[in-house]
Structure 1
Amino acid sequence: MDWTAVLLLGAALFAGAFVQSSIGFGMAVVAAPFLVMATPSLMPGALLVTSFSLPVVQLLHGPKQIAWRPLGWALGARLLLTPVGVAVVALLTVRAISVVVGTLILVTVAASVSALDLRPTPRNAAAAGAVAGVAGTASSIGGPYLALVLQHERPERLRATLAAFFLVGTSMAVVGLALAGEFSREQLLAGLAWVPFVVAGYAAAAPARAHLDRERLRRAVLVFCVVAGVSVIVRALVF
C-alpha cells in the first residue's frame, strides 16, 4: 500500500467531512472520486471505516433530534438489501466498481436537484434505505437518498438522523463485506489513517456553519460531483 497516496487523500476526506458537517451529507460523494482514481483497491472498505467517525462525533456533540420513525424504516430496508451490495463488490471488477461509483455520484446529483417533493413516509424512507443498502455498501454513497426524503426537516434534525443512519448502515456494510471476504487489512488501516482528517474537517466546519451560505455550498458541491462522476466513468472506460 502506498502510504504517501493514502495520506495525500486525507485532504479529500477533510473536504468531504467539512461539506457533510455543513449540509448533512457529502463526505463519500466528495471523497470517493479521488479514492477510486488513486487507490481503487481500497474501495469501498476504507471509506466505510472512515464513515464511522463523523457520525459518532456528530451524535456526541450535536443535537440529537432524530426522526426515529423514518430512520427505522430506512434501516430495516437497508439491512435487507445490504447483501445485494456485498454481491456487487464480490462479483464486479475494480473497473466496473469505478463505473458504478461514478454513476451513483451522478444519480445522487440528479436526486438532489430534482423537483420531487418527498415526505418522510414509511414507503419513501424504506425505498431510500433499500437504495442505500446496495449503493452504500458497494460505493459507500448511501446518505443522499434518505436526505432527499428528509428534505423538509429542520437542519439539526436532518443531520442527526443522517448521522444515525450512516453509523448503523455503515456497520451493516462492513460486517457484510467482512463475512464475504471483501474487507481487507489494508482497507482497515487506510480507513483508520483517515479518521484524523475527518475529525479535523468537522472541527473546521463547526465555527464556519453560522456564516456559510449553505445553498451556495450545496450548488458548488453538486457541480463538483458532476465533473468528478463523469471523470471517474471516463477514466474507468478509456484507460
Structure 2
Amino acid sequence: MPDLSLIFLACAIVALGAIVQSLIGFGLAVVAAPLLYFIDPTFVPVPLLLQGLMISIFNWYSNRHNTDIASMFYALIARVPGALLGLWLILHFNAKGLQIMIAIAVLSGVISTLTSYAVRFNRKNLVIAGFISGIFATVAAIGGPPMALIMRHQETAKIRGNLSAFFTLSSTISFFVLLAGGRVQLHHLSLGLLLLPAVILGFFLAKLVIDKVERQHIKWITQIVCSISAFMLLYQAIFN
C-alpha cells in the first residue's frame, strides 16, 4: 500500500482526470494511468478501472436524457473478446512490456483528439473500436480513445451520454474478466475505495465549470500532459 502522501497525490491526479472526463466524455484514465503508474504500478489497471466505472455511472445519470445505449450494442459485444485478449497480455508480459502498452494506449488517446479524420459510425467500426477498447481498458484502464474517435462528430451531450453508458457497462466487463483471471486482489479494492472521493470531487468540480470553459482548451492541456507522461513511460521502460 502506498504511503499517505502518495495516496493524496494519486487522489489529485484522479480528480483532474474525472474533471476532464466529465467535460469531454472521456479522459480519466488517459490522464491518470501514466502518472499513477509512476507513483505505484498497483494503481493500474484495477483501482483506476474502478474509478472509471464510478465516473461513468455519475456522468451516465447526469446525461441520461442524451443516451442511446442500443446504438453501442456491437461495441459492447466486441468488448468481451477484447477484454479477454487484454487479460492474456497482462498474464504474459512483464512489467516493462505493460508499461510500453500503457504508453501506447495513452498516445493513441492523444492522436484520437488530434485527428480530424471522420470514422463512420457503423457496425463494422463499432466492433473494431469496441474490441480495441476492451484490450486497452483491461491492460491499462484506458478504453476511451477508440470509442471517442468513432463518436467525435456527434453532439457534445450525446458523446458524454453514450460514452458514459458504454464505459459503465464495458468497465464492468473488464473488471469481471480481470477478476476471473485472478488479477483482482483485496488491496486493489482498498486502493479503489481510497481514490473514490477524488472521483466524486472531480465530478462536482466539473459541474461548476462545464459552462465556463472551452472544451478545446481542456483538450490542448490534456494532450500536452498525456504526451509528456507517455513519453516518460516509454523512456523509462526502454532505457532503465
Q: TM-score, normalised by structure 1?
A: 0.95
Residue equivalent to 1:84: 85
8 A Cα contact 2:108 2:145, kept in partner = no
**2:194 paired with 1:193:** yes
CA distance in structure 2 between the partners assigned to 1:216 and 1:34 by the alignment: 21
8 A Cα contact 1:70 1:125, kept in partner = no
Report the CA distance between 1:193 and its aligned residue: 1.1
CA distance in structure 2 between the partners assigned to 1:198 and 1:68 by the alignment: 23
8 A Cα contact 2:105 2:142, kept in partner = yes
8 A Cα contact 1:52 1:167, kept in partner = yes
**2:72 paired with 1:71:** yes
Structure 1 portions without partners, runs of 5+: none
> What is the percent sequence identity of the aligned residues?
25
**2:142 paired with 1:141:** yes
CA distance in structure 2 between the partners assigned to 1:14 and 1:100 by the alignment: 24
CA gap 1:130/1:61 in 2 versus in 1, 3 angstroms:
same
Report the CA distance between 1:110 and its aligned residue: 1.6
CA distance in structure 1 between the partners assigned to 2:157 and 2:116 by the alignment: 23
Residue equivalent to 1:217: 218
2:30 is paired with a residue of what secondary structure? helix
8 A Cα contact 2:113 2:219, kept in partner = no
Residue equivalent to 1:163: 164
CA distance in structure 1 between the partners assigned to 2:224 and 2:168 by the alignment: 27
CA distance in structure 2 between the partners assigned to 1:53 and 1:64 by the alignment: 19
Report the CA distance between 1:8 and its aligned residue: 2.1
Residue equivalent to 2:98: 97
Report the CA distance between 1:69 and its aligned residue: 4.2
CA distance in structure 2 between the partners assigned to 1:42 and 1:90 by the alignment: 17
8 A Cα contact 2:69 2:165, kept in partner = no
Amino acid at match of 2:168: L
Amino acid at match of 1:2: P
Matched pairs, number: 239
Q: CA RMSD in A?
A: 1.3
CA distance in structure 2 between the partners assigned to 1:64 and 1:75 by the alignment: 20
1:159 is paired with a residue of what secondary structure? helix
Residue equivalent to 1:2: 2
8 A Cα contact 2:80 2:173, kept in partner = yes
CA distance in structure 2 between the partners assigned to 1:131 and 1:236 by the alignment: 23
CA distance in structure 2 between the partners assigned to 1:167 and 1:145 by the alignment: 16
